[in-house]
């Protein structure tokens, strides 16, 4: 399994985000933000970075399709896109770029080129709103993820394997999702198996962030071990990004798994997960 397929407009890549939107995502972090807000901000930034990566002088090339599954909202599982993209499962990146829910302006500090900084106003498009509501139907969410990925692979058999990034802060309320997670990772394109990341956000019960472990040693409970067992081993390109861009030396067998994560570990996981497949 090579994970070397060229990504182009004729052979696009696929990202699917599976987002916990249950009631506990309203819990506040040390920053004062809720977990739902942190996740929405992070996913919006990743979508914006995908748009930028696909932007050329003549416009935005559809190197990628992306989707967001939200679970918990109204007690069910839905596409988390709203507005013009409402109900859509996988959307070409050009269509995502053209249809944000709104565009905010934020002031950030940037290098002024003379050793100092200056304030600059930047546009920040919003596609995902923070939602925290009801239960955690994780098993149902992965059932839908399997269907979406199956449909994609039926039409794009030679693609770089789809990358699924799951972000949650709690245990499933509709049964053990292991079977559905394993089924997802067993799906293949001609280039390799689907890659699944599981990013668990801190709920305050543990103090140490565990990022990309190579084994179950040190994992605090059966739930953490379940998520680890159902996370994909990182491919060489991902391990290289972790070392070169984040200064992380990963052990053999490192998996796309974070337990008790914070903002920094979430951002790192999203970066590693979405930059492994670059258009050529």
Closest CA to 231 of 257, 254, 210: 257
Q: Domain for residue 75, yes or no? A: yes
| pLDDT reported for residue 222 | 93
Q: Domain for residue 7, yes or no? A: no
Mean pLDDT, rounded, for 93-119: 83
Cα–Cα distance, 176 to 19 (Å, whole number): 17
What are the backbone angles phi and psi of residue 190, rounded to the nearest 5°? -65, -10
What are the backbone angles phi and psi of residue 22, rounded to the nearest 5°? -75, 175
**Displacement of CA 78 from its chain's centroid (Å):** 16
Q: Domain for residue 62, yes or no? A: yes
* Domain span including residue 18: 13-105+120-275
Q: Domain for residue 66, yes or no? A: yes
71 touches 20 (CB < 8 A): yes
Instruction: Specify the 3-state DSSP secondary structure of 122.
Output: strand
Mean pLDDT, rounded, for 126-145: 94
In this structure, of 42-56, 140-154, 260-274, the range with the lowest mean pLDDT score is 260-274
pTM for the model: 0.92
H-only helix segments in the chain: 35-53, 93-98, 138-155, 178-186, 222-229, 236-246, 263-275
| pLDDT reported for residue 215 | 93
On the question of pLDDT at 161 being above 80, the answer is yes
In this structure, of 56-65, 67-76, 117-126, the range with the lowest mean pLDDT score is 117-126
Neighbours of 117 (CB within 10 A): 11
On the question of pLDDT at 266 being above 90, the answer is no
| pLDDT reported for residue 170 | 85
Q: Domain for residue 39, yes or no? A: yes
Cα–Cα distance, 249 to 132 (Å, whole number): 35
Q: Domain for residue 36, yes or no? A: yes
Q: What is the CATH number of the domain that holds 125?
A: 3.40.50.410
List, for residues 189-247, the tens digit of each pLDDT value: 999 999 999 999 976 555 688 999 999 988 989 999 999 999 999 999 999 999 998 99
Neighbours of 247 (CB within 10 A): 7
| pLDDT reported for residue 109 | 67
Instruction: Specify the 3-state DSSP secondary structure of 188.
Output: strand
Mean residue pLDDT of the chain comes to: 90
| pLDDT reported for residue 112 | 67
Q: Domain for residue 57, yes or no? A: yes
Within 13 Å of residue 192, how many CA atoms lie on the same side as its CB?
19
Q: How many domains does the chain have?
A: 1
What are the backbone angles phi and psi of residue 119, rounded to the nearest 5°? -85, 140
Burial of residue 103 (number of CB atoms within 10 Å: 0-12, 13-18, 19+): exposed
17 touches 91 (CB < 8 A): no
Copy the structure tokens of residue 57. 């002088």
Q: Domain for residue 252, yes or no? A: yes
């Amino acid at each position: 399994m090579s994970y070397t397929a060229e990504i182009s407009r004729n052979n696009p890549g696929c990202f699917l985000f599976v987002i916990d939107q249950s009631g506990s995502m309203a819990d506040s972090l040390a920053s004062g933000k809720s977990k739902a807000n942190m996740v929405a901000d992070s996913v919006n930034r990743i979508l914006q970075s995908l748009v930028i990566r696909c932007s050329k002088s003549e416009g935005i090339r559809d190197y990628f399709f992306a989707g967001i599954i939200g679970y918990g909202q109204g007690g069910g599982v839905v596409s988390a896109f709203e507005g013009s993209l409402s109900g859509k499962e996988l959307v070409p990146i050009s269509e995502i770029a053209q249809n944000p829910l709104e565009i905010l302006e934020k002031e950030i500090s940037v290098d002024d080129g003379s050793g100092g900084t200056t304030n600059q106003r930047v546009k920040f498009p919003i596609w995902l709103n923070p939602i925290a509501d009801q239960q955690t139907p994780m098993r149902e969410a992965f059932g839908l993820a399997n269907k979406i990925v199956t449909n994609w692979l039926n039409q794009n058999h030679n693609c770089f394997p789809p990358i699924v990034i799951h972000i949650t802060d709690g245990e499933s309320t509709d049964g053990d999702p292991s079977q559905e997670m394993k089924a997802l990772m067993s799906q293949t394109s001609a280039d390799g198996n689907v890659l699944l990341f599981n990013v668990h956000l801190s709920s305050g019960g543990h103090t140490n962030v565990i990022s990309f472990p190579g084994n179950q040693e040190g994992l605090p409970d059966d739930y953490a071990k379940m998520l680890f067992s159902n996370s994909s081993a990182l491919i060489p390109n991902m391990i290289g990004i972790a070392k070169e861009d984040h200064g992380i030396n990963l052990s053999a067998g490192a998996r796309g798994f974070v337990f008790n994560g914070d903002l920094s570990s979430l951002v790192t996981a999203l970066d590693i997960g979405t930059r492994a497949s670059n258009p050529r």
